[in-house]
Structure 1
């Protein structure tokens, strides 16, 4: 009996000696976001400081003009100044994250992973792929119907996109199919604006219809070709709740 007790104590000691992973604090995440952004956007420091100083100065001036309570204005202005600085940092960090992946194969799919509204789900692999030019078409299904997003120069991407649209329409007849081209050419959607463009699409399907359409498209399949994966903006950019200290 004594021997078994010693064994249990030893096991407990071993388990307790295992290093625990430390939870990353919000200010660590803010610093990581800042250093990542500063590498590609050195002006971010002055933007953040400028917004902070401007907000504090305005709040102090308002307090002084209304009863001479400039100290109260200063106290109120500091947290609002921090909030304004964090807002600017978040926006510029997002822009820096997209800048890092722009032009890389699969950047469109990485950006689409940031879509949070509309019930969208996107295939990990492209549904159409041009091996010679590395033009890609990614497919998503949501409340707005089926979305096909092409990645590549306008001329070539349009042909690949139309071909995939006809193939998809044969399987999901009557379902709205929207096509977009991601790029910097004429008529294309820039990578940094892709998420907002998708989230603005109006819903037309119910959740049950979305599930049925997804089932049919899974049977249709995709290109099944490996592609180099880019940086996911959802990981590269800072979490907004963490930046607010929540």
Structure 2
């Protein structure tokens, strides 16, 4: 027992990643694809503090308004960094196989997406991913070749199993009628609920029988993980 205790005490401890470490990693990642992020963040901080100085001069209370402007300046700078980091994260995974699924993983509640495509074209690498939520079934296609044909085929297959369940088809991309990768989670989130929670569970169970393409998709970068920890920045 003594030997076990000494071994456990000598085991390396996992270093806790603090909020400023996450902030620095987010900044470095963003700067690789968005070199202007430094000037944007610093500029926003300076502008807000400058407004505080001007108001302080006009009201003859410079020190008070400068101190008041600092937390607001920091908040604005962190907000802009978070938005830029999110855009940079999406740009890093755009065009990679499974990018649509990586974007859809940012949907925290109400949706379940299988971890592999339900349809795939081996030649063009076009893929269709399937999710289930209260709005029904959503089929999201990515690719430039036969993705429309794949989506239609999968829609018909789903409708045969679930004839009364709404099926929404979305194509991720930058073409006409397509949804950009960054706006994909918002487009799914806007769908109106049509099913109850028990019905969602039943639909999920019935769709499991359909299976998928049985081809694992490389896990992409979760853009939401690139955001700084706001609770940590508030000292919580």
- TM normalised by structure 2 equals 0.94
Offset, 1:172: 1.0
User: Superposition RMSD on alpha carbons, in Å?
Assistant: 1.6
| Alignment equivalent of 1:165, drawn from 155, 162, 166 | 155
1:93-172 aligned within 5 A:
93-117=85-109, 119-153=110-144, 156-172=146-162
Q: Does 2:30 correspond to 1:9?
A: no
Aligned to 2:28: 35
Which string of whole-angstrom CA distances, capped at 9 and with x for unpartnered residues, describes residues 68-116 of structure 1?
1111110010111011100000000010000001001110011100012
Offset, 1:238: 4.2
Aligned to 2:172: 182
Offset, 1:244: 5.0
Offset, 1:169: 0.4
Offset, 1:63: 3.0
Q: Does 2:188 correspond to 1:198?
A: yes
SS in 2 for 1:178: strand
Aligned residue pairs, count:
236
Which is higher, the Rg of structure 1 or of structure 2? Answer: 1
Offset, 1:229: 3.7
Q: Give the gaps of 5 or more residues in structure 2.
A: none
| Alignment equivalent of 2:69, drawn from 77, 80, 91 | 77
Residues 105 and 238 of structure 1, relative CA distance in 2, 3 Å threshold: farther
Give me the whole-angstrom Cα distance separating, in 2, the residues matched to 1:148 and 1:14.
Answer: 51
Q: Give the gaps of 5 or more residues in structure 1.
A: 1-7
Offset, 1:189: 0.2
SS in 2 for 1:220: coil
Q: Does 2:14 correspond to 1:21?
A: yes
Give me the whole-angstrom Cα distance separating, in 1, the residues matched to 2:218 and 2:10.
Answer: 40
Give me the whole-angstrom Cα distance separating, in 1, the residues matched to 2:233 and 2:121.
Answer: 41
- TM normalised by structure 1 equals 0.90
